[in-house]
Structure 1
Amino acid sequence: MTTTIKISEAKTHLSDLLARVEAGEEFVIARGNDPIAHLTAVRKQTDMQLLLAEVRAARQKATTSTHEEILSWRDEGRR
């Protein structure tokens, strides 16, 4: 749920608001009744998420392999 707060309240309680944002809350900062900013946490990608994104991109570019190709790769060098 997003909470709307006035600019003066945001200025007075900025440290507290940032801690709450880090905990997952979201705020809209308003001048009077007009919303002017949306305060949300920055999402950081982990190394694993970056790796998964690279693998997914590579898989989309790859061509599909037939069953016969896979079996020939498995059996390569066995004969």
Structure 2
Amino acid sequence: MTDIPLAEAKARLSELITRAAAGEPIRITRRGKPVAEINSVGAPRKPIDIAALEALTAGMPFQEESAGDFVRRMRDEDRY
């Protein structure tokens, strides 16, 4: 992380934004103490296709053993 004094950050804001967008976090300091950070924004998430998710799960076999029974069995068999 790069530390930049506030006065310098004011003068070079466009450059700092470009560097942050490229993935380099920038920390702005005032009198040597950190006061702000500039980071890149994560990529937006894709919306979930509900129909595709339902089609995927519809083809999965039903589990006959409950989750609680499965955990108990694994615990009792010392396989965790």
TM-score norm. by structure 2 comes to 0.58
User: What percent identity do the matched residue pairs reach?
Assistant: 31
Distance in structure 2 (CA, Å) of the matches to 1:4 and 1:26 = 9
Q: Which amino acid aligns with 2:7?
A: S
CA drift of 1:51 comes to: 2.3
Provide the residue aligned with 2:14 in structure 1: 15
* Backbone CA RMSD of aligned residues: 2.4
Distance in structure 1 (CA, Å) of the matches to 2:32 and 2:48 = 44
Distance in structure 2 (CA, Å) of the matches to 1:39 and 1:22 = 9
Distance in structure 2 (CA, Å) of the matches to 1:66 and 1:12 = 62
Structure 1 stretches (4+) deviating beyond 6 angstroms?
Answer: none
Provide the residue aligned with 1:65 in structure 2: 62
More helix by share: 1
CA drift of 1:66 comes to: 3.2
**Gaps (5+ residues) in structure 1?**
68-79
1:51 and 2:44 are equivalent in the alignment: no
CA drift of 1:11 comes to: 0.4
